[in-house]
Structure 1
Amino acid sequence: MILLEGNSLLNPSPGLIFWQLVVFSALVFILWKFAWKGILSALKEREGEIEGALRMAEETRAEMAKLKSDNDKLVMEAKKERDIIIKEAKEVSDKMIAEAKDRAVEQGNKIMEDAREAMTQERVKMMSQIKNEVSALSIEIAEKVIRKELSDKKAQESFVSELVSDAKLN
């Protein structure tokens, strides 16, 4: 029998259907009259908030992409400036090295020229000194020849030879 009663639930009576329709219609009317506008406005408000959040997210994404692009440009500019600074520093360094080499060559040439000049002056001084010594020696020989009175020419020639050989020894 329970099976029969279960069968009546599957086949509702027309009175039950009528009352269900009345209750459902009343519920729909009450919801439509009092709650439907609030629910729809809340849904529209929520939809607007979601759209605003999506727009904000899109704007933020675009701004982040722009910031990343700007950051990449700044990095590239910084690298270019770094390369320029390094290049200029290298050029300055090379220039300083070249100038130092030129100065060293100039100073070396000046030192060599000064040494040559000093050697020339020393040679002139030595030649002058030798001439003075030769002159003094010649005067001394002449004095000795004049002081000594020689009787014959042969003795005079041997004396001059002796003096010349003494002069060569000094």
Structure 2
Amino acid sequence: MINATDLTLLLAAEGGEEKHNPLLPHTYDIVWSLVAFAVVLFVFWKFVIPSYLKVLDERRDEIEGGIERAEAAQAEANAEKAKYREQLAGAREEANKIREDARAQGQQIITDAKTTAEAESDRIVAAGNQQLEASRQQVVSELRGDLGKMSIDLAEKLTGESLGDSAKASATVDRFLAELDSSK
């Protein structure tokens, strides 16, 4: 069996035509290839390349916009961080001030409590001293009366006489007690 290329070569050899180099294409192949290439090039140039460039531009804008948004977000985050640190520093200062005020108030309360306690203690001691002095005066007065009565009874027993005159007896007892006080 003879194929198409062999047939073409045979016909060309019989007709006396020049032999064609099989490595070089025929002219009509080159022309039609150029026409097909021009059509494909035109379609690519008119439709594919602009849409491809459009997609590339969109992606570039999206990437650049993303970078800009990221930088803006980073700047905003840094500003918020700085603001937070300032607020934190202010809160720490306020906490220190409150702590110092509380310490000062605590010291004042302690001082006031000590002063009040000392005043109350002094008042209680003074009241106790007054009560003690009043009790002592009462005891001394009762003892003087008892001592006077006992002295009169003793004097009556010693002298054998009745000392019925109360004024005289009272004067004698007072004189005796004054002598006792002065002998101390």
TM-score when normalising by structure 1: 0.63
* Root-mean-square deviation (Å): 3.7
Counterpart Cα distance in 2 of 1:142 and 1:42 = 143
Q: Which residue of 2 aligns with 1:24?
A: 33
1:58-80 deviations in Å (ceiling 9; x for gaps): 11221221232133224313422
SS of the equivalent of 1:68 reads helix
Alignment of 1:18-167 (within 5 A): 18-133=27-142, 135-137=144-146, 140=149, 148=161
User: 2:66 is matched by which residue type in structure 1?
Assistant: A
Q: CA deviation at 1:54?
A: 1.8
Q: CA deviation at 1:17?
A: 5.3
Unaligned runs of at least 5 residues, structure 1:
1-9, 151-159
Q: Given the alignment of the two structures, is residue 12 of structure 1 paired with residue 23 of structure 2, yes or no?
A: yes
User: 1:97 is matched by which residue type in structure 2?
Assistant: G
Unaligned runs of at least 5 residues, structure 2:
1-20, 164-172
User: 2:48 is matched by which residue type in structure 1?
Assistant: I
Counterpart Cα distance in 1 of 2:87 and 2:32 = 76
Which structure is higher in RCO with an 8 Å CA cutoff and minimum separation 6?
Answer: 1
TM-score when normalising by structure 2: 0.59
Counterpart Cα distance in 1 of 2:139 and 2:75 = 94
Q: CA deviation at 1:103?
A: 2.8
State, as a whole percentage, how many aligned pairs show the same letter.
10
